[in-house]
A and B are shown apart, each in its own frame.
Chain A
């Protein structure tokens, strides 16, 4: 059957409304695809009507089925669901949570080799089979000043979501990686700095007292709404649905009471971090993410890179509320292994959406590139004015009586 569209366009396939009853043998496909030469780059394959591809078989099969509508139309699994393939990458995503633990010996690389061979420390765990899931790092045989643990698990199931929701008292973002964390632990002092989603969400404004953000079309929306459904007035339990947080990590002070304290003189030595020292370990963990009902994005991630002498953690909250504003709140944690000193720097940036767009345009970006840039905090952060900045530091060295023989 042929359907003619306008004068020039013909569909040779069967596309009438009812299931065709095929009595004759299935038609072989006839080459009728006439393309203009310049279109050939789009993977148009040479036409080989004589080839019997699996798709031909499929078509024949389907037509036979169609002849007997009601019977064949029942649930049918042409192929049973596939068994799990032993592919490590797959496990990483859907299987048990992946824990990556890095024990750092900051003086002798040999020690690293003894304990956890360097060649088993993936630059990114994505490229290697993950180690078997471990919930607790084994205590090191000799003192190891710092342990870095990351955990990447799937988003929470509905029961833990309900529990979390009742603990926090607000609806939580749809992508909630409730088990994920990045933890920095200093063994001699038991000092810990960890990044997890729950305390971050706990800092979200739960009452809307700071003034709620509105989507850019909110005014227009409520104006038309009054005509149709004026009965619905209240926002039940307002909260900051943008999930803006000023989270800087959760700190457990050391045994000697060591904790981060404001230190306006401290700074993160950018020049040392700019050096291309080999990265022993790097990872990135998403804590939560919301698409804000497709009005932008709100995401909290934490990433780490560990070099031989130092490491850097960046915990970044990124909010883009389309046509309203852009927020970036960065917490950087710098650790110098030699000095056993931790510096934490918090920088909040915020800018109006239109202003950012203008600046991107001034940088010479095309409209399409601007759209892409708006998805990437790295391309935007430097364009935003700083609204808050604070530096803290703590020194963990030699403040306990614990042995330092590993050094």
Chain B
């Protein structure tokens, strides 16, 4: 690989990323290449042991990711499982995904990364990650390195054979977890099929079965679907992310399914809480709820400025 650094010190990279410094493009390229090699060996269903702390959507909110480490313990003192959606919307998607990938490489068995619907070329082009990469690096190469690597992220994790973890939810094409194992996942997230459903679908507490989304694509799944899935697979609980909740988490279907959301004050304006779910050695689940890190305030104006040019900045907005 011409042009790549001859070696990369991961601890140095991690130290820099904790300080929110960017890594050089060539370093990102090397790290993504190495991560692909590592992820390629993971199954579509990774089995891990408790204790583990499960983290929901981050969406580029770097300071809040650091807050999670402060609250839950830094890697590798605490085992982590991230449920996807690391990038887009927040201001620091590049720093966030760089740090997570470096930690994954450094402690492959201590930290697991599941693919979310935002770990895709299509979605990141509209929702900020592409723009952020181009702005911070002057070109889109880094975006290509990261999104190519996203194709290798695993789709689901099972904790202690009792908790099934996925980004979005269940699929009508998947009854048994073994059916997930045969998906060819090394590709862009398709618009349809089981792989799309796993990262996209949402629970619907008012229904029993699967129903079609009114938008013309995608499913919601109801209580009977959850019950059957848990029975067939001899599991106790489904754990997923993907949906914003004001309280930082939500439990549905008689405590058979929980949503964990880890981006406090989402998009820097929702004012919501966030949580991480700590799964103990005996399968006990504790939501650790937290709010936005104070560091976010330092870049407040920047956030507003980026989001809505000139509206709440120093200059008065003479809108018409």
Contact = CB atoms under 8 A, between A and B. Distances in A.
Do A and B truly interact?
A: yes
Interface of A: 3, 5-6, 8-15, 17-19, 29-36, 39, 42-45, 47, 53, 55-56, 58-59, 61-62, 65-66, 72-79, 81-82, 85, 87, 89-90, 93-94, 123-124, 126, 153-158, 161, 174-175, 208, 212-215, 217-218, 220-222, 224-225, 228-229, 231-241, 270, 273-274, 276, 279, 282, 284, 286, 292-296, 303, 305, 312, 314, 322, 368, 371-372, 374, 376, 378
Contacts of A31: 9
B130 interface: yes
Interface stretch (B157-165, B180-188, B230-238, B311-319): B311-319
Contacts of A220: 191-192
B152 interface: no
11 contacts: A19-B107, A19-B109, A47-B12, A75-B51, A155-B246, A155-B270, A215-B215, A217-B191, A232-B209, A270-B320, A274-B318
Interface in B187-237: 191-193, 200, 207, 209-219
Interface in B132-184: 134, 137, 172-173
Interface in B243-265: 243-247, 250, 264-265
Contacts of A215: 215-217
A75 B8 CA distance: 31
Nearest to B271: A154
Contact of A232 (B77, B79, B200, B212): B212
Contact of B34 (A9, A89, A175, A218): A9
A380 to B, nearest CB: 13
A194 B213 CA distance: 33
Contacts of A282: 316-317
A273 B318 contact: yes
Interface string B87-122: 000000000000000000111111000000110000
B106 A14 contact: yes
Interface string B296-320: 1100110010001101100011111
Given A11-B34, A284-B311, A293-B218, 18 more contacts: A3-B34, A15-B10, A15-B108, A32-B9, A34-B7, A78-B70, A93-B271, A174-B243, A175-B266, A217-B191, A218-B216, A218-B217, A220-B191, A235-B212, A235-B214, A241-B215, A270-B320, A294-B118
A227 B152 CA distance: 27
A212 to B, nearest CB: 6
B22 interface: yes
A72 B77 contact: yes
B1 to A, nearest CB: 6
A1 to B, nearest CB: 12
B238 to A, nearest CB: 18
Contacts of A13: 8-11, 105-106
A59 B320 CA distance: 55
Contact of B214 (A35, A43, A239, A296): A239
Nearest to A368: B134
Given A11-B10, A78-B70, A214-B215, A34 B5 contact: yes
Contacts of B43: none
A12 to B, nearest CB: 5
Given A214-B215, A305-B318, A312-B319, A157 B78 contact: no
B214 A208 contact: yes
A161 B293 CA distance: 26
A11 B8 contact: yes
Contacts of B24: 35, 39, 42, 44
A156 B246 contact: yes
A70 to B, nearest CB: 9
A75 B215 contact: no
A19 B291 contact: no
Contact of B51 (A15, A74, A292): A74
A293 B278 CA distance: 27
Size category, B interface:
35 or more
B9 A294 contact: no
Nearest to A377: B308
Interface string B273-295: 10000101100001000111110
A129 B182 CA distance: 56
Nearest to B278: A75
Contact of A55 (B15, B207, B297): B15
A72 B51 CA distance: 11
A11 to B, nearest CB: 6
A305 B193 CA distance: 49
A90 B130 CA distance: 29
Given A59-B11, A174-B244, A220-B191, A236 B207 contact: yes
Contacts of B193: 224, 228
Given A76-B77, A175-B244, A154 B217 contact: no
A59 B304 CA distance: 36
A376 B305 CA distance: 12
A94 B320 contact: no
A10 B5 CA distance: 8
B86 interface: no
B42 to A, nearest CB: 11
B70 A82 contact: yes
B126 A371 contact: yes
Contact of B76 (A65, A77, A174, A225): A65
Nearest to B108: A17
B84 interface: no
B126 to A, nearest CB: 6
Contacts of B34: 3, 5, 9, 11, 15
A43 B106 contact: no
B244 A39 contact: no
A13 B127 CA distance: 34
B271 A279 contact: no
A286 to B, nearest CB: 7
B123 interface: yes
Contacts of A62: 74-77
Given A10-B7, A29-B9, A228-B172, A212 B214 contact: yes
B68 to A, nearest CB: 11
A310 B127 CA distance: 37
A157 B249 CA distance: 11
Nearest to B290: A81
A221 B191 contact: yes
Contacts of B74: 58, 62, 78
A381 B117 CA distance: 29
Contact of A371 (B117, B131, B272, B297): B131
B318 A45 contact: no
A129 to B, nearest CB: 12
